[in-house]
């Protein structure tokens, strides 16, 4: 009775052994077949007003320079590219695209594409700056701006934080402890996130050592957030938050349903500053920093805020509102120069008044929307920022336009350091993160040496 089974087992074993003999007959490519480099004629991508800019494309297929392949391109002010398409041919692997110039501070953008011999279309976006240090915001500061936010934060601080902790075993080990924490950050506002800290000697938060605290607000939308040990490995207590109070421990399918309650939050309640959704978010982030600074493990000196995109905007806002903040490190911040599109210039995310981005749709009276947004435009928080600031951004970003980021940067009077990588978009190179970390350590060490 066992013979058929044994025969089948042997047959399967022989087949498996045979299958292991098949091997790939060609090597894995170690470079892309088509290599492309786009280089402006000014190495830093910066030009004076009236200077002519050009873009040199270099392309090779398998190491052979392209010859005769046509490049289609459109050039115009950032986020206002024309419909008209021009073209130029590669000659000995090079194509020269005339970008032109600007007579007012801002950015020119070039979108190019070409079809190579492998049948694929290669395309990219390149932007160059004209007198970016002269870019000024179109957003004025309301006369009661400071009073409005001081009252909002004072009211929120009357509400006990009531932290609610939940263990997160998958992100807890012999070095670090992670807990999901839910905080009552305002009269009608809760936030939650993941708190990760060096493992204490005893108790949930007690530790003989003291640490800097780092708050990380989230990017836009309502996607799940996840714990990180990046800053805890640098001997910091770290809190990564979600601004919508979505339950981060739900299974993915259930979370997808819960997050729908946050849809359209960017323009919710825009009728007045007091009802706008971001009011409780801005104050809530400041309260989240209050929470970190209430922990027994805080060193009592260093309170850092850092994040990217919407998180970059909330970084500036939190550091400006909360007097406990000591360092501000935003990456490509959103919500800057929000009325830029009304002046035919690229504004910041969520691109209000642009007419081409659904998250930026405004359904109320335009003048009322403009009046409300003045209280939430990050450029006005940049104006009152007092702590050292490290900011990093790129020029190919079509989400948070470099024009809008420069508008905020130029308003900062506090000590500041910038890291610009022209070829990066709505993301950062590892080197930018490393520079930011070194900058943080330098200031932390200064504070530690001079209590």
Q: Tell me: the pLDDT tens digits for 333-362?
A: 999 999 999 999 999 999 999 988 777 788
Q: What is the mean pLDDT of the chain?
A: 92
Contact 315, 392 (CB under 8 A): no
pLDDT of residue 170: 95
The dihedral through the CA atoms of 268, 270, 273, 274 has a sign that is: negative
Does the structure show a pLDDT above 50 at 16?
no
Confidence at residue 445, expressed as pLDDT on a 0 to 100 scale = 85
pLDDT, tens digit (0-9, with 9 covering 90-100), for 384-425: 999 999 999 999 999 999 999 999 999 999 999 999 999 999
Omega of the bond leading into 350 within 30 degrees of 0 (cis): yes
Q: Which helix (H) or strand (E) holds 73?
A: strand 70-77
From 290, 426, 432, 443, active-site residue: 426
8 Å CB contact between 108 and 51: no
**pTM score over 0.95:** no
Q: Would residue 309 show up in a list of annotated catalytic residues for this protein? A: yes
Please determine, for residue 108, whether its predicted confidence score (pLDDT) is greater than 50: yes
* 428, pLDDT greater than 60: yes
Among 23-27, 47-51, 66-70, the minimum mean pLDDT is found in 23-27
- As to burial, measured by CB atoms within 10 angstroms (0-12 exposed, 13-18 middle, 19+ buried), residue 76 is middle
- Is there a catalytic annotation at residue 42? no
| Separation of CA 421 from chain center | 14
Question: Is residue 15 pLDDT above 60, yes or no?
Answer: no
Q: Which of 397, 401, 404, 443 is catalytic?
A: 397
Which residue, among 285, 286, 269, has the nearest Cα to 277 in the 3D structure?
A: 269
- pLDDT for 394 equals 98
CA distances from residue 117 to 62, 146, 334, 338 in whole angstroms, order as listed: 10, 60, 39, 43
| Other Cβ atoms within 10 Å of 247 Cβ, number | 15
Q: Report which of residues 260 and 382 the model is more confident about.
A: 382
Active-site hit among 222, 262, 267, 309: 309
**Model confidence band, residue 201 (pLDDT cutoffs 50, 70, 90):** low
Q: Which residues pair with 39 in a beta bridge?
A: 56
d(CA 172, CA 254): 24
Among 79, 81, 125, 43, residue whose Cα is nearest residue 396: 125
- pLDDT tens per residue, range 234-282: 999 999 999 999 999 999 999 999 999 999 999 999 999 999 999 999 9
Neighbours of 6 (CB within 10 A): 9
Q: Is 397 a catalytic residue?
A: yes
> 18 pLDDT band (50/70/90 cuts)?
very low
**Each residue of 132-189: pLDDT tens digit?**
999 999 999 999 999 999 999 999 999 999 999 999 999 999 999 999 999 999 999 9
Antiparallel, parallel or unpaired: β 34-40 and 164-167: unpaired
């Amino acid at each position: 009775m066992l013979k058929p089974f044994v025969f089948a087992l042997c047959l399967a074993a022989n087949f498996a052994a045979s299958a292991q003999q098949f091997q790939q007959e060609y090597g894995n490519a170690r470079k892309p077949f088509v290599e492309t480099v786009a280089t402006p004629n000014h190495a830093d991508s910066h030009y004076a007003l009236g200077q002519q800019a050009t873009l040199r494309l270099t392309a090779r297929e398998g190491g052979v320079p392209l010859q005769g392949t046509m490049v289609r391109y459109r050039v115009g002010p950032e986020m206002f590219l024309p419909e008209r398409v021009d073209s130029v041919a590669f000659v000995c692997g090079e194509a020269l695209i005339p970008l032109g110039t600007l007579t007012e501070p801002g950015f020119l953008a070039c979108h190019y594409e070409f079809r190579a011999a492998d049948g694929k279309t290669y395309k990219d976006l390149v932007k160059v700056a004209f007198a970016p240090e002269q870019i000024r915001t179109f957003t004025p500061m309301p006369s009661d701006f400071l009073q409005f936010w001081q009252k909002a934060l004072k009211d929120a601080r009357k509400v006990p934080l009531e932290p609610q902790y939940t263990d997160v075993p998958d992100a807890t080990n012999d070095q670090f402890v992670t807990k999901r924490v839910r905080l009552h950050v305002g009269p009608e506002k809760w936030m939650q996130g993941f708190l990760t800290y060096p493992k204490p000697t005893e108790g949930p938060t007690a530790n003989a050592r003291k640490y800097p605290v780092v708050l990380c607000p989230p990017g836009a939308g309502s996607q799940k957030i996840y714990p990180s040990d990046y800053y805890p490995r640098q001997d910091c207590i770290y809190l990564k938050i979600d601004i919508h109070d979505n339950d981060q421990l739900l299974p993915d399918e259930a979370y997808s349903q819960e997050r729908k309650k946050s849809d359209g939050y960017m323009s919710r309640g825009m009728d007045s500053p007091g009802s706008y959704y971001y009011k409780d978010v801005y104050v809530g982030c400041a309260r989240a920093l209050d929470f970190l600074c209430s922990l027994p493990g805080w060193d009592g000196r260093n309170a850092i805020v850092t994040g990217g995109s919407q998180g970059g905007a909330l970084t500036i806002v939190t550091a400006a509102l909360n007097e406990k903040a000591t360092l501000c490190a935003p990456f490509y911040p959103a919500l800057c120069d929000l009325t830029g599109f009304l002046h035919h210039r690229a504004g910041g995310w969520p691109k209000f008044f642009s007419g081409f981005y659904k998250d930026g749709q405004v359904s109320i009276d335009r003048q009322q929307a403009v009046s409300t947004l003045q209280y939430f435009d990050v450029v006005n928080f940049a104006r009152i920022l007092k702590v050292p600031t490290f900011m990093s951004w790129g020029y190919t970003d079509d989400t948070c336009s470099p024009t809008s980021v420069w508008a905020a940067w130029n308003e900062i009077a506090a000590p500041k350091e910038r890291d610009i990588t022209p070829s990066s978009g709505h993301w950062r190179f590892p080197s930018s993160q490393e520079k930011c970390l070194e900058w943080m350590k330098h200031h932390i060490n200064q504070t530690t040496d001079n209590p």
